[in-house]
Amino acid sequence: MNIGIDIDGVLTDLEKAIIDFGTKMSVEEKWPIKIDVSKYWEVEALEWTQEQADKFWNKYLVEYVVESKPRMFSEEIIEMLKKEENNIYIITARNEYGMPPEYYGKMQELTREWLKNQDIKYDKLIFARDSEKLHQCIENNVEIMIEDSPNNIEDISKKIKVIKFDCQYNKQVNGENIITAYSWYHIYDIIKKFNKEGGK
């Protein structure tokens, strides 16, 4: 089976990272701390201006990309899936937006290094805009996509089965082609059943 996997919010806990780094930034900058975990974008979740969000990413994006820990058991499950002859396509919307000038042009390299350092095995790494993820899934014959972004879940699930990694900001997203998972072992169980049922 061809399995698509997002990075931020699926392999990493983006939700926690934004709150952790965001509240740190707010204290450092003496900004009022306001948190709405039901929102996906940091400008909405922390009630920031775009200028504040830009300053935040410029300061913390590289640290997040380089030092984030993978979600519990993600490497283990991916290795198990690989051993069972599944193909792993990592499909991420990571781009240069927010990168400090000295790191501009290095997002793909930093991402490859991070995957290698975390021992996350994959067959193909695809960088695509959010709006292009469905196209990339179809182009690469992805049969099931693991995603956290509400917009991407809704878009991709129109054509392909989606495993929604449960987060506060995507709880309202449901549909016939969407299965909610709460952990990486839960993802493994869903994929095993999906395979057993012949991809239905």
Cα 149 to Cα 147: distance, rounded to the nearest angstrom: 6
Residue 200 has pLDDT above 60, yes or no: no
Architecture of domain 2-13+70-196: 3-Layer(aba) Sandwich (3.40)
Model confidence pLDDT, tens digit, residues 74-111: 999 999 999 999 999 999 999 988 888 899 899 999 99
What DSSP assignment string belongs to 99-145?
--GGGTT-HHHHHHHHHHHTT---SEEEE--GGGHHHHHHHTT-SEE
Average pLDDT (163-177) is: 96
Confidence of residue 199 (pLDDT cuts 50, 70, 90): low
d(CA 137, CA 2): 9
Alpha-carbon distance 34 to 77, whole Å? 36
Sequence letter at residue 4: G
Contacts of 189 (CB under 8 A, 6+ apart): none
Domain boundaries, the chain: 2-13+70-196, 14-67
Taking the whole predicted model, whether its pTM rises above 0.85 is answered as: yes
> Which one-letter DSSP state was computed for residue 68?
P
pLDDT beyond 70 at 29: yes
DSSP assignment of 37-63 equals TT-SSHHHHTT--HHHHHHHHHHHHHH
Helix (H) / strand (E) containing 162: strand 161-165
pLDDT at 88: 98
